[in-house]
Each structure stands twice: as structure tokens, then as C-alpha cells.
Amino acid sequence: MRLQDYDTKTRYRATVRASKRITAVDSHEEVRDILIEVESQEFDVAVGQNIGVLAPGQAEMGQEYHFRLYSIADVPHSTPEGYLQIRICVRRCNTIDEFTGEQYPGVASNYLCDLTRGETLTITGPYGQTFEAPSDPDATLILICAGTGIAPFRAFVKYLYSEACDFKGRVWLFHGGQTGIDLLYRNQEKDDFALYYDRDTFEAFNALSNRPGWSETADWGAAIEDRGEELCRLLSEPTTYVYVAGLEVIRDQLDEVMAEIAGSNQTWFRWKEDLEAEGRWIELLY
């Protein structure tokens, strides 16, 4: 679905309650965890969904606003007044003109990263399907993400362990990044997943770039192929579910690695089709 096809007619005013950088100062990436409070008791959103942000557009070009989507990065909670507070994870982006080589700041990301406590913004949504815990409390969940794709899984894992009280299954988290300090919510600045490391059912695996600073491609081969035999066994079980989040390019990267594990492209794509048909392969890509 293209951004221009989203319904943005219903809009809500929100206030920034906190904004914190969650990448180290020596990281070349600035990523912020932003807490906003929606000033409407009618707004509701769930784990796995997105909200839309309407950043100010370029008036000289007749652009009213600049629309972008952001995943919910925590379990939403209500204030005593009944207003919903939600978190989003925002990476400050810049684009490079492929003809001139000039660098331009990303409109929505820089707008959001520059907002301070007390400032307001306009949001829309929510959009997308929720992440639902499988009905089997002993199900195995395989979560695969890169970069800011960790945001919906931060919310999902917290939901599993704090609100889905009957969930006792196994969770494998594969997290891709350029370097260790870029593993959002899992670095020295902020490691929310440390709450789960002592659980026998939770394991996290890093897929770091072979060329930090030069390539944005995570090393899925090393992270996934090392566990290929067990992964194939898990995927063959009817109680295993796979969730994938991040940029769309991750789909092709994973297909390549999984085809190696499965033995051929034909075998893997047939297997993947079955998983999708059974509702056991869920993607949240952008």
C-alpha cells in the first residue's frame, strides 16, 4: 500500500512528553525514543500497528504536510485522564540526490527528532494489523528485524511477558545492525531486552554487518545459518510463528539465506507459501 493511499482525514493532536537519544554519542546514527500523548479519548492503537505523522510540508511547493508511518515501540498505556501515551522509534535520516550528490535532511524524521518536551504534532491512524500472541501458550516465536524494525518487537515481547499471562513459549530474536552500538534497545544507552535475558525461553542473536560503516546489510548468514538445522526443525512444527519487521529489503536477504538452509529456492518458497497460508509468517515491512 502506497503512502498516498492511506486515509489521513481523521487527525489527532498529540504532545511530546519525552524524547531521548538511544544510540551512543559515538554512533554515526541518531535514533530517538519519543513518548507522545494523544489528546483524544477516542484514539486507540495496539501492539504491531503504526501511526501516521503529518510533518509540516513545503508550502512553496503547495505541500500541506509530509506523511510518514511509525511503528508503536511500546505497549500503549492510558493516563488518569484517559489519554493514550505511545512511544515511537525515529532515526534521523538524510537523503542524497542521485544526480547532484547533495544531501538533504529527511523531512519527517528531522521534524520529529527536533521536537522537544511540550511541543505538539499531528498524527493519524492507527494502521495495520495487530501482533497477536498465538492461541497456543507454548508456541515458538521467531522474531527477525533490522535497525528500527526492532521497535514493534520491543512492544510485542513486553506484551508477551507482561500482559499475555498464559504465554510460556519460546522466543528467538534475530536483530540486525551495522555495529553492536547500533542494536537499538539492546545497547549501553538503553537495553530494554535485558529484562528477558535470564528467562530460559528467551534468546537474542545478533546479525552484524561484515563491513561496519560501509554496508547496511546485516550478516543474516552467520546469525541464521549457524542455527539452520534447529530453525528448520522449528519451522516444521505447527506451533512455530515467524514475524519479520524492517525495511522491505530484508525480505530478499532472508529469502536468500533461508533458501540455502532449505536446500533450494524452490523448496524454500514452497515452504514459505505454506507458512503464510497458515498464518505463521507475518511481515511488517516498509
Alpha helices in the chain (DSSP H): 107-114, 150-162, 220-225, 228-235, 249-262, 265-277
pLDDT of amino acid 98: 67
pLDDT in tens, 54-72: 999 877 777 889 999 999 9
- Which of the 8 DSSP states describes residue 274? H
pLDDT of amino acid 165: 77
pLDDT of amino acid 268: 95
pLDDT band at 285 (very low <50, low <70, confident <90, very high): confident
Mean pLDDT of 171-191: 73
In the chain the domains, ranked by start, together with CATH numbers, are 3-126 (2.40.30.10), 140-285 (3.40.50.80)
- State how far the Cα of 139 lies from the Cα of 143, in Å rounded to an integer: 13
Name residues whose C-beta falls within 8 Å of residue 212's C-beta, 6 or more positions apart in sequence: 178, 179
Mean pLDDT of 143-153: 89
pLDDT in tens, 11-50: 999 999 999 998 888 777 899 999 999 999 999 999 999 9
- Give strand pairing partners of 120: 15
- State how far the Cα of 217 lies from the Cα of 174, in Å rounded to an integer: 14
- Give strand pairing partners of 12: 123
- Give strand pairing partners of 67: 54
Cell of 247: 525495511
- Which of the 8 DSSP states describes residue 72? B
pTM score: 0.87
pLDDT of amino acid 215: 45
- State how far the Cα of 38 lies from the Cα of 8, in Å rounded to an integer: 16
Contact present, 187 and 24 (Cβ < 8 Å): yes
Cell of 160: 508477551
pLDDT of amino acid 181: 52
